[in-house]
Amino acid sequence: MGIFSFNAIALAFLLAIISGAVNACPPSDREALLALSSSLKEPYLGIFDSWKGTDCCSNWYGISCDPTTHRVTDVSLRGESEDPILQKTGHSSSGYMTGTINPSICQLDRLTTLIIADWKGIAGEIPSCLASLPNLRVLDLIGNSLSGKIPDQIGNLQKLTVLNLADNKINGEIPSSIVQLSSLKHLDLSNNLLTGEVPANFGNLKMLSRALLSGNQLTGTIPISIGNMYRLADLDISRNKIQGQIPAQLGKMKVLATLDLGSNMLTGEIPPAVLGSTGLGILNLSRNSLEGNIPDVFGPKSYFMALDLSFNNLKGPVPGSLSSAKFVGHLDLSHNHLCGTIPVGTPFDHLEASSFDSNDCLCGNPLKTC
């Protein structure tokens, strides 16, 4: 082999090495990820076994990088059964991981997606420095054992569209800065230990389509400002300690399809605008202290897949206008103080006696005849 050929091969080899180094993720990103993995223990699936070598952009499980800058943009580690690694290993149940989320994750300043979800055993606090990641769009830490508070400066994440912290042990109040998340579309804080009130200016979250706050220890009243959230389709504040009356503004929201206020301490009468809403398809007001008559405001545009008013202090008759509703699937008026004859026809002809049980003096099909 001539000297020229040897030099050409050596040069090509050197260029390949340089090219690989240039295309690899920066050492700082790699070190941040290794610090994260060192704080987590996953005994069954070996998901961190692939986190080897100098290039964390190449075949590191759950890691994605920007193709131009080679900076880490996505960390996506899910422990539920839909994840490919669980299917590939034949693991029949969801994954399990313990440890904590190392603040080193905040060194990934180009991060747009952080998903460490459904591992059950990951504990400790949410690193407060996550609120300093300017490009973060998705923060999903559902289904762990995280405790402590939601970072006070969470409102700094101006690009955040998804915030999912459900099914943890997070306590403290909802940070007031949360209403500054002007891009937020999906908020799920359900099934935690949150206390305090829903921020009065919660309605500032104009882009929000889902607000899920159920299963906490929230107090105070339902903010009237929620009525201004013209994109909100799903509002769930059930299983809290919310008091006061139901704002009539909730019945005037154009796209609100699901409203769940069940299992609270709400009082007063049901606003006619709420029951008369033609957009609501699921309405749960059960297990409160609502009183007065059920507004007789149903019509041919009323379409309820589920309407639950059970376990309240409602009185008077079953509204006759329910017969004119386009559709009523599940109806529960039990455990109130209703009285009179149950109307005939649709939807009453397909309902069971349990829909009307434990009232003062209701009669007629499906209960005993009057």
Q: Return the structure tokens found at 228.
A: 């201004």
Give residue-wise pLDDT tens across range 148-166. Answer: 999 999 999 999 999 999 9
Supply the CATH number for residue 188's domain. Answer: 3.80.10.10
| Closest to 344 measured CA to CA, from 313, 314, 323, 367 | 323
Is residue 124 a part of any domain in this protein? yes
Number of structural domains, the chain?
1
- Output the pLDDT for position 265: 98
DSSP readout, 278-302?
SS-SEEE--SS--EEEPP----TT-
Is residue 2 a part of any domain in this protein? no
Full domain range(s) for residue 202: 65-363
- Output the pLDDT for position 85: 60
Task: Tell me the average pLDDT across 54-76.
Answer: 96
In Å, how far are 94, 118, 159, 316 from 36, measured between CA atoms?
A: 21, 17, 24, 61
Is residue 15 a part of any domain in this protein? no
In Å, how far are 45, 46, 124, 146, 166 from 93, measured between CA atoms?
A: 11, 15, 24, 21, 20
- Output the pLDDT for position 358: 96
**Has residue 15 got a pLDDT over 50?**
no
Task: Tell me the average pLDDT across 131-160.
Answer: 97
Which residue in the block uniquely carries the two structure tokens 């690009």? 159
Task: Tell me the average pLDDT across 93-122.
Answer: 93
Other CB atoms within 10 A of residue 212 CB: 20
Question: Phi-psi category of 303—alpha, beta or left, where left has phi over 0 and alpha has psi -120 to 50?
Answer: beta
Query: Residue 88 — pLDDT band, cuts 50, 70, 90?
Result: low
Task: Tell me the average pLDDT across 79-92.
Answer: 59
Sheet holding 97-100, edge to edge: 40-41, 97-100, 120-123
Phi, psi of 264 (to 5 degrees): -130, -155
- Output the pLDDT for position 86: 59
Least confident piece of the model among 54-63, 87-96, 286-295? 87-96
Is residue 29 a part of any domain in this protein? no
- Output the pLDDT for position 220: 98
Whether 226 contacts 252, CB under 8 Å: no
Query: Residue 81 — pLDDT band, cuts 50, 70, 90?
Result: low
Which residue in the block uniquely carries the two structure tokens 């829909």? 355
Is residue 20 a part of any domain in this protein? no
Q: Identify the H or E element spanning 282.
A: strand 282-284
| Closest to 293 measured CA to CA, from 275, 314, 309 | 314
Is residue 164 a part of any domain in this protein? yes
DSSP readout, 128-193?
GGGGG-TT--EEE--SS--BS---TTGGG-TT--EEE--SS--EEEPPGGGGG-TT--EEE--SSE
Give residue-wise pLDDT tens across range 318-354. Answer: 999 999 999 999 999 999 999 999 998 888 888 999 9
Q: Return the structure tokens found at 132.
A: 């300093």
- Output the pLDDT for position 214: 98
Task: Tell me the average pLDDT across 216-237.
Answer: 97
Q: Which residues does 44 contact at the CB level (< 8 Å), separation at least 6?
A: 91, 95, 96
